Structure 1
Amino acid sequence: MTLSITRRRTIVAMAGALAPIACRSSAAAASPVRLSYQESSVLLQVLRNRAILEPRLQALGFTPVWSQLGHSLAELGQVDFQGDVAEAVPVMIHQKLPNLILYAAEGPSPRAAGIVVRNDGGINGVPMLNRKRVGVAKGGSSFDLLLRSLHNNGMSLADIEATYLPEAASSAAFSSGHLDAWATYDPFLSSAETDPRARLLTDGGSQGLRYDRYYMVDAGFARAHPQVVKAMFDALVEGAAWIRTHPDQATTLLSGLWQNMPLEAVRRIDSHRNYSVRAIDNTDIPTLQQIAGRYRAAGVLPMDPDVASIGIWKAA
């Protein structure tokens, strides 16, 4: 049977009118996946801005909802996927947030953490930090670097004037001369190194720091949606490969995301990072246990956080 022109036009018009409704219904049906990131989350920044992750999630009926990584325990527990964190963080938060498990690691990148000093301070070696004001974020991997550096030179926290500040506050204090040294990590480290008033005293590569970055997921979410965790892992692998094969584009992208950071500093950051994503293996938990031991000895952890019980996600 042949449709009349009028009927065909009516059907086409109805289809056109219904299409947006169908799209809206499909979008509304997509389940949100809550993900966090921080300034140093290079791979996650690439995933967000290169549309690497979103199509993978949409194919599974999910949509990403991004937020800046919080630092309180309440904020850390409000996402499904925790932004990449330095290796000391799982040790610090496990006791309060045992539901967060490891699903991927990037690194090691030991040169991405370091201690910078002022050129006019006359500090030419770690022993010369004695009685000096050293800024550091307590509990992070730059804190672990500081502990290692002091220990390797027969010193302890008691020999310095440790000033515990978040990175932005340490940066301001160091620039204004209120700190003699600053233990930090990228992108703050490389930004400080490009300042003609500062120089690198030591880095993780010289002090035995691994500086892996860990990616964490809520255990309940991982059990319910293992296909989403697999999609996230695969997206991280793809993002890392893109950075390695497109270094100039990656540098330009990251510079824009970091308030137009000078390209020289961004290239330095890229040279420090491994950009190799891997599954969690049997070397990770012992590394975290060693960090826990150093932190207990330094009085940062009041009790054993039972690092051995940190969960690990493995693809089926």
Structure 2
Amino acid sequence: MKGRLSLVSFMAVLFSFSIILGGCGSKAESNASDNNKKDDEKTISIGYQKGNTLNILKESGILEEKLEGKGYNVEWREFVQGGKVLEALYTGNIDFGHAADGPGIFAQAGNKPLVYVGADLPNPEGVGVLVHKDSGFQSVEDLKGKKIGALKGGNHHYLAILAVKDAGLSIDDVEWVFLEDAAQLRSAFETKKIDALATYDPFFASAEIDLDTINLTEGKDYGYPNRTFYYANVDFNKEHPELVDLVLNAIDESDQWANKNKPEVVKLISKALGIDAKVIERATDRRQYAVERVNQDMIDAQQKQADVYYEIGLIPEKVDVSKDMPINE
């Protein structure tokens, strides 16, 4: 495994463009949204985003090794964001994918068919609310009447909502500024067009390293695990539960390698995203890699988030997340 992943130099060809979201989809994404999916029953199609754990698995070759004896091939399809991964999943263009908690809630609210099959370990330190050190703000309470920038519905937006409520404020006590991508958020924060920046790794780590900031949510427990989930196509999960289990086991094996070889992971992700290695190192050092199967704690946290999204009008109706989150016995 180490030999394969240390050869990251070839990644410059594969990953030649930026992580910044909001742009046009890649050729791979376009292919993924094509309804003419291959009718090869011996191919597992997996949707991934650059820099995440499935990206690490892809480079490891572990999944291909596990499937070879069963006569299956792997088709990797790249997407620029989690919502697009799930769209391909519920339209039957991929069998398995990885996306954050919010896209799953939005898909369920739209009655889109999918199944949660597992998740990464919690990463609460991977999101935060930053202010400039010279702003005079010392706590979230100080943000009353001030502008908080976020990407609407993102994990960092949810964290900021929890922080505002925990401070005894209502969500209407602050002014929310929703921008289109992380680059716009960073620019608005640097030029002080917003007072506080709700953000997420690796952009969170980048702002901490490049700017003189205070993290107002550091050390606070808001009951938010900040998980990223693994999802399966409903039919694929029903017809091939043993393959879903095999994929999850392969991810966990790759994750355990990643925990022991973080410098190699930093090199891989830095090249994949085109982001300075120091930033990726900071983001990587504050998380642990592993796969957890669906459990009640996961369901409870996701339900709480879905209820908040309904309360503030992000989704049109209440969602029972448990209907698509079967607990692994």
After TM superposition, the score normalised by the length of structure 2 is 0.78
State the partner residue of 1:77: 90
Query: What per-residue deviation string (whole Å, max 9, x for no partner) do you get for residues 162-184 of structure 1?
Result: 01123333233223332221112
Correspondence 1:233 to 2:248: yes
1:35 pairs with 40, 46, 56, which one? 46
Root-mean-square deviation (Å): 2.5
Correspondence 1:258 to 2:273: yes
1: distance between equivalents of 2:41 and 2:316?
43
Higher Rg of the two aligned structures: 1
State the partner residue of 2:239: 224
Identity of aligned residues (%): 26
Task: Assess if the C-alpha contact under 8 Å between 1:124 and 1:201 holds in 2.
Answer: yes
Query: What per-residue deviation string (whole Å, max 9, x for no partner) do you get for residues 138-165 of structure 1?
Result: 2222121011100000112211110112
2:101 pairs with 87, 96, 100, which one? 87
1:53 pairs with 47, 58, 63, which one? 63
Number of aligned residues: 286
State the partner residue of 2:323: 309
Distance 1:119 1:207, change over 3 A: same
Report the more deviating stretch, 214-223 or 275-284: 275-284
**Structure 2 SS opposite 1:35:** strand
Aligned pairs for 1:1-316 within 5 A = 31-39=42-50, 41=52, 43-60=53-70, 61-70=72-81, 71=83, 74-75=87-88, 77-78=90-91, 79-81=93-95, 83-165=97-179, 166-203=181-218, 205-259=220-274, 261-312=275-326, 314=328
Report the more deviating stretch, 160-169 or 195-204: 195-204
1: distance between equivalents of 2:51 and 2:295?
23
**Structure 2 SS opposite 1:256:** helix
Q: Which ranges of structure 2 fall in alignment gaps of 5 or more residues?
A: 1-38
Task: Assess if the C-alpha contact under 8 Å between 1:38 and 1:83 holds in 2.
Answer: no
Distance 1:39 1:156, change over 3 A: farther
2: distance between equivalents of 1:172 and 1:39?
23
> How far off its partner does 1:39 sit?
4.5
Task: Assess if the C-alpha contact under 8 Å between 1:139 and 1:300 holds in 2.
Answer: yes
Report the more deviating stretch, 52-61 or 240-249: 52-61
**Structure 2 SS opposite 1:108:** coil
Task: Assess if the C-alpha contact under 8 Å between 2:50 and 2:78 holds in 1.
Answer: no
Q: Which ranges of structure 1 fall in alignment gaps of 5 or more residues?
A: 1-27
Distance 1:219 1:313, change over 3 A: farther
Task: Assess if the C-alpha contact under 8 Å between 1:101 and 1:311 holds in 2.
Answer: yes
1: distance between equivalents of 2:225 and 2:212?
28
Query: What per-residue deviation string (whole Å, max 9, x for no partner) do you get for residues 42-92 of structure 1?
Result: x11211222222333444322222221443674563443454333333222
1: distance between equivalents of 2:299 and 2:247?
22
Distance 1:49 1:172, change over 3 A: farther
Report the more deviating stretch, 286-295 or 199-208: 199-208
Distance 1:116 1:57, change over 3 A: farther
After TM superposition, the score normalised by the length of structure 1 is 0.81
Query: Which one-letter code corresponds to 1:207 in the other structure?
Result: Y
**Structure 2 SS opposite 1:117:** strand
